[in-house]
C-alpha cells in the first residue's frame, strides 16, 4: 500500500542542519494499522506529513498505492490526496463557518461527486459517528470529542485506502480519547483502510497491529 525507501528530511535553523528523518524505510500493507510513538519533537508529525504527500522529503522514494510521489505534478498529488488519503490532525482543522454536514461533505464536493451520492455517503457516516442530531450544528457549538468525530468522518467519507492520524486523541481526556480511538479503529476496519497513527498514548498504541518508535531520526519496530 505504502512503500518508503531511504526518506531523509532536514530542517535548517539558520546555523545548524537538524536531521529529523534519516534514511527511513517503512512499508505499510493494505489493511495494516500502525502506531508511531516517540518523544515530543522527535519527528512524528514530519514523518506523517512526508509519507502522506502533504510535505516533500529532501531525498528518498515514496510509493503510495503504486504511484511514485516524486514523479507526480501538484495537480496529480491533489487527486491522490482527494481519492486515496485521509488525514486527521490533533486539532480538528474543521471550518468553523460551516456546519457538521458541510464540513464532512467538503472532500466529496471538491471531487465533483453527484449531489444524491454525496448525501447518501454523508448521511451514512454521520450515522456511524452518532452525530445525527448535530448534523446542522456549527463547529464552535460542539465539544472537543464531537469535533474529532466530525474530523474523522471528513477524513474517511471518501473511503481512502490509507488514513494518517497525527495524535488524534492528544487533546482529549482519557475516556473521550478511548471512545474516539475506538470509533476511528472501527471505521478503519469497516472500510478496510490502512492506518498510520502518531500517538503519545501507549495504551492506544498497543491496540494497533504494529508499533514503531522514532528516535534520533531513526524509525524502528517496538513492542508496547
Ligand atoms: N517547518 C519547520 N521548520 C523548522 N523546524 C521544524 C519545522 N517543523 C518541525 N520542525 C522541527 O522538527 C522537529 C520535529 O518536529 P515534529 O515532526 O513536529 O515532532 P513531533 O510531531 O514528534 O512532536 C522539532 O524539533 C521541530 O522543532
Ligand atoms: Mg507532532
| High-pLDDT (> 70) share of the chain, % | 100
Residue 167 has pLDDT above 90, yes or no: yes
pTM (2 d.p.): 0.96
Query: What span, in angstroms and rounded, lies between the C-alpha atoms of 219 and 186?
Result: 27
Give the pLDDT confidence of 29-79 residue by residue, as tens digits.
Answer: 999 999 999 999 999 999 999 999 999 999 999 999 999 999 999 999 999
CA of 192 to the centre of ligand 1 (A): 31
Q: Ligand 1, residues 7, 9, 11: which to mutate, most atoms within 8 A of Cβ?
A: 11
Structural domains in the chain plus CATH codes:
2-221 (3.40.50.300)
Phi and psi at 162, nearest 5°, equal: -140, 135
CA-closest residue to ligand 1 atom 18: 45
Report yes or no: 106 and 95 within 8 Å, Cβ to Cβ: yes
Give the pLDDT confidence of 5-43 residue by residue, as tens digits.
Answer: 999 999 988 889 999 999 999 999 999 999 999 999 999
Report yes or no: 199 and 34 within 8 Å, Cβ to Cβ: no
CA-closest residue to ligand 1 atom 5: 11
Q: Which one of the ligands is nearest to 9 CA?
A: 1
Report yes or no: 150 and 131 within 8 Å, Cβ to Cβ: yes
What is the distance, to the nearest Å, from the Cα of residue 89 to the centroid of all Cα atoms in its chain? 7
Amino acid at each position: 500500500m505504502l512503500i518508503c525507501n531511504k526518506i531523509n528530511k532536514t530542517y535548517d535553523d539558520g546555523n545548524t542542519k537538524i536531521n529529523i528523518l534519516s534514511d527511513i524505510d517503512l512499508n505499510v500493507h493494505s489493511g495494516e494499522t500502525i502506531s508511531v510513538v516517540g518523544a515530543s519533537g522527535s519527528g512524528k508529525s514530519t514523518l506523517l506529513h512526508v509519507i502522506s504527500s502533504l510535505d516533500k522529503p529532501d531525498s528518498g522514494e515514496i510509493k503510495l498505492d503504486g504511484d511514485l510521489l516524486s514523479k507526480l505534478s501538484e495537480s496529480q498529488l491533489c487527486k491522490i490526496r482527494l481519492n486515496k488519503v485521509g488525514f486527521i490532525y490533533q486539532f480538528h482543522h474543521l471550518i468553523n463557518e460551516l456546519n457538521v454536514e458541510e464540513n464532512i461533505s467538503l472532500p466529496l464536493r471538491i471531487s465533483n461527486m453527484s449531489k444524491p451520492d454525496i448525501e447518501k455517503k454523508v448521511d451514512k457516516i454521520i450515522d456511524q459517528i452518532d452525530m445525527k442530531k448535530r448534523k446542522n450544528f456549527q463547529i464552535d457549538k460542539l465539544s472537543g470529542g464531537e469535533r474529532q468525530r466530525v474530523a474523522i468522518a471528513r477524513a474517511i467519507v471518501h473511503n481512502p485506502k490509507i488514513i494518517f492520524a497525527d495524535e488524534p486523541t492528544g487533546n482529549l481526556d482519557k475516556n473521550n480519547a478511548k471512545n474516539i480511538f475506538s470509533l476511528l479503529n472501527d471505521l478503519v476496519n469497516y472500510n478496510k483502510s490502512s492506518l498510520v497513527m502518531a500517538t503519545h498514548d501507549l495504551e492506544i498504541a498497543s491496540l494497533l497491529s504494529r508499533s514503531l518508535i522514532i528516535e534520533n531520526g531513526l524509525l524502528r519496530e517496538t513492542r508496547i
